[in-house]
Every structure is written in structure tokens, then in C-alpha cells.
């Protein structure tokens, strides 16, 4: 059996597509409150990004609770229910291998706020205008 060869561009597109499908499945599970966890039902959680490894066996899932409230408690609840999420993703996407999911806090919003604050600093504004 000949193994299908992918160009780097096709390979990365495939990773993005699968990552987006995983994101949609996880978002649907959380939106419909199909997880029997009090912490997750009490919070609105946004799945901001899913990054798949090239072999599609691991998925880094970046999450942010609405308004950033109780981030550590939400992450702990997600990590506690990881097996449920992995099973649901595997069943719904029918992939050859079930991706091992790792939940991580999304720091991009915090980083963007920090950069915005730096750019609004009067000393930086003075340098940018001059």
C-alpha cells in the first residue's frame, strides 16, 4: 500500500482543518452542557484555538472562561473531564486515533492588553509621534 505524500502546505491545512473540527466539537459539548460538572455548567467557556501535532495524536486546546473569571477552577474541571472530551471527539470525528487533549489557558488576550497598555504609555506615544 502506497503511503500518500502531502506537501508542507497541504499538511498544515489538514492540521488546521482537524484542529478546527476538534474546536467545534468541544465548543458544542460545552455550549450544550453535556459535561456533568458543576464548575463547567456554571461558567461559559470559550475554546479559542486547537493546535494539533503533525501526527494528529495530540491536541493543545486553548480555553478562556467568559470574563476570565475562575480560570484555574475551570481549567481544573476541564482537565478532570479530559477522558470524556477525548472519547466524544473520537466518536464524533471518527479519526483513526483519538487525540490526547491537553487544556491550556489562553494568554493571548492578556498579552494583547499588555501590548496595548505599553503603546498607550505617554512616553511611547511621544516617541511614535515624533
pLDDT tens-digit series, residues 63-108: 988 876 788 888 999 999 999 999 999 999 887 788 899 999 888 7
101 against 127, higher pLDDT: 101
Confidence of residue 7 (pLDDT cuts 50, 70, 90): low
Which strand ranges, in their side-by-side order, compose the sheet holding 45-52?
45-52, 58-65, 100-105
At what angle are helices 108-119 and 122-129 packed, to 10 degrees? 70
pTM: 0.76
Domain of 34? 8-129
| In a domain? residue 95 | yes
The C-alpha cell of 106 is what?
Answer: 489562553
Mean pLDDT computed over every residue of the chain: 83
Confidence of residue 3 (pLDDT cuts 50, 70, 90): very low
CATH of the domain at 95: 3.30.300.20
Per-residue pLDDT averaged across 38-54, rounded?
88
pLDDT for residue 55 is more than 90 = no
Check residue 1 and give its pLDDT. Answer: 41
pLDDT for residue 4 is more than 50 = no
| In a domain? residue 2 | no
| In a domain? residue 3 | no
Q: How many domains does the chain have?
A: 1
Gyration radius of the chain's alpha carbons: 19
Check residue 127 and give its pLDDT. Answer: 72
Amino acid at each position: 500500500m502506497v503511503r500518500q505524500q502531502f506537501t508542507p502546505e497541504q499538511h498544515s491545512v489538514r492540521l488546521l482543518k482537524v484542529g478546527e473540527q476538534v474546536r467545534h466539537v468541544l465548543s458544542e459539548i460545552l455550549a450544550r452542557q453535556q459535561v456533568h460538572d458543576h464548575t463547567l455548567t456554571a461558567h461559559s467557556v470559550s475554546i479559542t484555538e486547537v493546535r494539533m501535532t503533525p501526527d494528529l495524536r495530540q491536541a493543545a486546546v486553548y480555553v478562556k472562561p467568559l470574563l476570565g473569571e475562575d480560570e484555574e477552577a475551570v481549567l481544573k474541571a476541564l482537565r478532570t473531564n479530559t477522558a470524556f472530551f477525548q472519547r466524544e471527539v473520537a466518536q464524533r470525528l471518527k479519526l483513526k486515533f483519538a487525540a490526547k487533549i491537553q487544556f491550556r489557558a489562553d494568554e493571548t488576550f492578556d498579552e494583547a492588553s499588555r501590548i496595548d497598555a505599553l503603546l498607550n504609555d505617554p512616553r511611547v506615544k511621544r516617541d511614535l509621534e515624533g
